[in-house]
Chains A and B, each alone.
Chain A
Amino acid sequence: MEMKINKTKISKTTKNDLITYGMVILVYIVVQLLVSTGHVSSLVQGLLVPFCTYVIVAVALNLTVGILGELSLGHAGFMCVGAFASAVFSLAFKESIPGGLRFFLALLIGAAAAAVVGFLVGIPVLRLRGDYLAIVTLAFGEIIKNIINALYLGVDSNGIHFSMKDALSLHMEEDGLMLIKGAQGVTGTPNDSNFTVGVLLILITLFVVLNFIHSRTGRAVMSIRDNRIAAESVGINVTKYKLVAFTLSASLAGVAGVLYAHNLSTLNALPKNFGYNMSILILVFVVLGGIGNIRGSIIAAVLLTLLPEVLRGLSDYRMLIYSIVLITMMIFNWSPNAVFFRKRLKQTLTSGRKA
């Protein structure tokens, strides 16, 4: 009897994960078929890589919101770090390293840079609770964006130069290469990412996040989410595991940034791509897909990006609809009255079935 319970349980979570992977692969095949038969407009084709970016950040953010149980409004900032770190690398080694290897290294660098920033941000931030934590992550996200907008970076035969003032104060040689031009950002990043790379990165992200959740570390993180004091009482190092989860989440957001950066020839840190509005948009995906539900985040990200493109007439109302759906979902899912109502409904249904 006992063994049976065990077997069904393990296969249940594994099955769930496999469905998620399968879903992504299936969508990929369908989209590729549609593209090759010319059923996808060039506009939507141009959106395929940003799709993948959104999906990855949404999964990463769900790790923070759903598994760690803390609200981050600064994930666009980590994306921004990953994007710029990798874009600078790829631009600097555009000629000297071949494409595939260069993109792989760029990925590692983007993920590592975002992880380092996530770790440094996490140390002070994770000491705070609830609303304060959310607003401070928002603040950090904005600080990151601001700093990158003020940053000038160049490289020449004398080495690397950087300044927070303007391009002239870099004092570069004639042959020097400008890497970051302040608010003008990075120009000329090689176009190394495409839809296939994006889907591969989604699968890797899923692999990391799902396996993390089902591991000892994941359980420790969730125990902190459910009851911090009880977690401490059974010997869970709260600070450590919060930091581990937050850093991993930031690093995956960085991966999304790498993908994003290598899809554009010019990369700027604008409010609309790396500001808190982006963080909030990603949060909308996470909430609509179900907090803590990784597969849900993917579905929500794809549906919400795709629907307005398909229903062109609705595109003006897109954000309006998002916000109404967001509020309705929150009230329906979290209001004590609604929770009570659903519980009673479930009880009536199950007792009805038994009788």
Chain B
Amino acid sequence: MALLETKNLGISFGGLRAVNAFDISVEKGQLYGLIGPNGAGKTTIFNLLTGVYQPDEGAILLEGVNLTGKRTIDICKAGIARTFQNIRLFGDMTVLDNVKVGLHNHYPYSTFEGIFRLPRYRKVEKEMNTKAKELLEVFGLESYADYQAKNLPYGQQRKLEIARAMATEPKLLLLDEPAAGMNPNETKELMETIRFVRERFDMTILLIEHDMKLVSGICEKLTVLNFGEVLAQGDTQDVLNNPEVITAYLGS
């Protein structure tokens, strides 16, 4: 059974059909790329998968469980985490606290226990700190732990966003144009990080990307989207050699 499956997913905004009859099947452990020209509906698909938008039709299945119509937080709890095209960190909080917010649902204690600093507060906070620092270390961010997130360099902000997403212990990680705004060196480093995350956490990753080099370098499978519809789908090399895809990207 595929880890993530969508069936005939579709949504319209006003008269515009943003996504139509979208089917995808991502196997566990895969690194899957979602590419397409600007406005093809890639981010809309992420928003559908994470419950930010509700689809007009179709279904979303994670490990066979139907997530269609669920709220964002329930989808997160079900195991889908994401990053954003325009980085969305908790800017005024520290880097460490950003990750600790990601850990929120896995390390519970009540507000009352927190205010009165009861034993469970001390125990859980300690566990959280250890876990959060472990994650920061994985992403090479440990020396920034006390920085305000908004003061991090751009590349590190991207990494922190991924670290925060990983803190929710997802089954599937959605990365929305992680290389946007990066120079070739940073992009290369990011590719390493993505590969590393996949190895280390045995993670399934679905990624939106414009950077062809990054896509062909790390993705095994691709789906190409054009005007909200699937143009091509399959192994990376086959898809990239598909004449229709070349036309959509370069014009005829």
Instruction: Give residues in A with beta carbon < 8 Å to B.
Output: 2, 5-6, 9, 207-208, 211-212, 214-220, 222-223, 225-227, 229-238, 244, 292
Contacts and interface: CB of A to CB of B under 8 A. Distances in A.
22 contacts: A5-B143, A5-B145, A212-B111, A215-B109, A215-B114, A216-B100, A216-B124, A216-B125, A216-B128, A218-B114, A219-B93, A219-B97, A219-B104, A223-B90, A223-B101, A225-B92, A226-B92, A231-B101, A232-B73, A233-B165, A234-B164, A234-B168
Contact of B104 (A5, A9, A220): A220
B90 A211 contact: no
Closest 6 CB pairs of A and B: A215-B114, A235-B76, A226-B90, A230-B88, A232-B72, A217-B111
Given A216-B128, A222-B93, 7 more contacts: A211-B115, A215-B109, A215-B115, A225-B92, A230-B84, A234-B102, A238-B73
B3 interface: no
Q: Which of A207, A214, A215, A244 has the most CB atoms of chain B within a 10 A radius of its CB?
A: A215
Contacts of B81: 233-234
Contact of A233 (B76, B98, B146): B76
Contact of B115 (A212, A235, A292): A212
Contact of A211 (B77, B93, B114, B128): B114
Interface of B: 50, 52, 72-73, 76-77, 81-82, 84, 88-94, 96-98, 100-102, 104-105, 107-109, 111, 114-117, 121, 124-125, 128-129, 133, 137, 142-143, 145-146, 164-165, 167-168
A166 to B, nearest CB: 43
Given A220-B104, A227-B89, A229-B88, A9 B96 contact: yes
A2 B146 CA distance: 11
Given A211-B116, A232-B72, A227 B91 contact: yes
Contacts of A238: 73
Contacts of A292: 92
Given A215-B115, A217-B114, A234-B81, A222 B50 contact: no
Q: Which of A212, A223, A232 has the most CB atoms of chain B within a 10 A radius of its CB?
A: A223
A226 B89 CA distance: 8
- Determine the main DSSP class of B at the interface with A: helix
A232 B70 CA distance: 13
A208 B111 CA distance: 10
A268 to B, nearest CB: 34
A231 B76 contact: no
Given A222-B93, A223-B101, A234-B101, A2 B114 contact: no
B82 A233 contact: yes
B90 A2 contact: no
Given A6-B133, A229-B88, A234 B165 contact: yes
B95 to A, nearest CB: 11
A172 B142 CA distance: 71
A227 B91 CA distance: 8
B115 A236 contact: no
A11 to B, nearest CB: 12
A239 to B, nearest CB: 10
Nearest to A235: B76
A222 B133 contact: no
B115 A234 contact: no
A212 B117 CA distance: 9
B73 A237 contact: yes
Contacts of A223: 90, 93, 98, 101
A3 to B, nearest CB: 9
Nearest to A209: B115
A9 B101 contact: no
Contact of A229 (B52, B92, B108): B52
B111 A219 contact: no
Nearest to B174: A233
A250 to B, nearest CB: 15
A244 B143 CA distance: 33
B88 A216 contact: no
Nearest to B130: A6
Nearest to B114: A215
Nearest to A226: B90
Given A218-B114, A234-B168, A227 B88 contact: yes
A235 B146 contact: no
B144 to A, nearest CB: 10
Nearest to A6: B129
Nearest to B113: A215
A234 B96 CA distance: 15
Contacts of A211: 114-117
A226 B91 contact: yes
A236 B168 CA distance: 11
A219 B101 contact: yes
